Structure 1
């Protein structure tokens, strides 16, 4: 069994999976969701555009992990504007993955929901870039801009429960 899955608990557990682009967060999160049946939330679904990492990070704590009305406003990447609201079940366990999933406010919000686990996923820079650009060729012109936002985010990262290299 997956070593992370062994640490998961029933109830309103929250798993926050963070790491730089191309590190393997989404793959790990999908595997865990398949094993556990937890709700799965991708920050890629609601970052408000390429300059929106910090705003997306804030949305995790304020919207996604809200104690009574969790959810998020999707981002329409084709039209570069907000989309529909997606409601989440506040009683179900949840996996939240993406750059910005772990912050002091999101850890506090996850603790308020119940038990939680924070996971930081890492990979070598060249591997990450190759994975990210293979996944989304439209990312190439934004790579440097996004990477600078990642640096700022990771400078503020609180301690994590588990660190994985892929």
Structure 2
């Protein structure tokens, strides 16, 4: 059995345990290009569970002060995510939120996520210290720098890759190191060599 297949079985076992407990929240954090969205989509297909993406909660431009962005993880609107998603789901209520579009600096139409046996929160910054206490379990995905750049380039273009290298990757790394995000996660998976889900 290949390593990625073993890893998937470990994640599935974790999800099945959480589903038995009911109304569970699973966070999938990790480096960009490590396969967070791919894994979340796979689990969504397997368990018909809702997925909420942290990409919908980046901080709007008018809130991006110098002071705010100096804080590790300050580029995510964790306050809105906490109020609109985590607190409602944790109390068994639907989460209603409007996804933020970074490119257009606009909010989309409202989305509703109803609580179920398992809800997945996917994306970098999902394990921000102000959010972490709300989860039932946590998975962290990592990837080598070389493979990370290869995957980012594959899904975008050289110009976007340079933006990642200059801005977004350093911000992520500062968040990971300052808050020791990988520590305490039930599963830490290195997806560098994984091919099964086209990471």
> Distance between the aligned counterparts of 2:74 and 2:98, measured in 1?
15
Shift of 1:142: 2.2
1:161 to 167, 171, 186: 186
Q: Deviations over 1:139-164 (max 9, x none)?
A: 33421211121022112126211100
1:18 counterpart = 2:29: yes
2:14 & 2:42 partners in 1: Cα distance?
A: 14
Matches within 5 A, 1:26-65: 26-48=37-59, 54-56=74-76, 58=78, 59-65=80-86
Aligned residues: 161
Gaps of 5+ in 2: 1-7, 192-199
Between Structure 1 and Structure 2, whose CA radius of gyration is higher? 2
Separation in structure 1 between the aligned mates of residue 116 and residue 163 of structure 2, nearest angstrom? 37
TM-score by length of 1: 0.82
Paired residue for 1:132? Answer: 152
Structure 1 stretches of 5 or more lacking a match?
Answer: 111-115
**Alpha-carbon displacement from aligned partner over 1:95-146 (angstroms, at most 9, x marks no partner):** 1111111123222223xxxxx2200001101111221232233633421211
8 Å CA contact 1:39, 1:95 repeated in 2: yes
Runs of 4+ in 1 over 4 A off after TM superposition: 49-53
Task: Please say if residues 47 and 56 of structure 1, whose CA atoms lie closer than 8 Å, have aligned partners that are also in contact.
Answer: yes
Whether 2:130 is the aligned partner of 1:105: answer yes
- SS of 1:3's equivalent in the other structure is helix
Report SS of the residue matched to 2:58. coil
Which deviates more, 98-107 or 63-72? 63-72
Q: 1:24 to 1:145 in 2, by over 3 A?
A: same
2:169 matched to 1:147? yes
Residue 36 of structure 1: CA displacement? 1.2
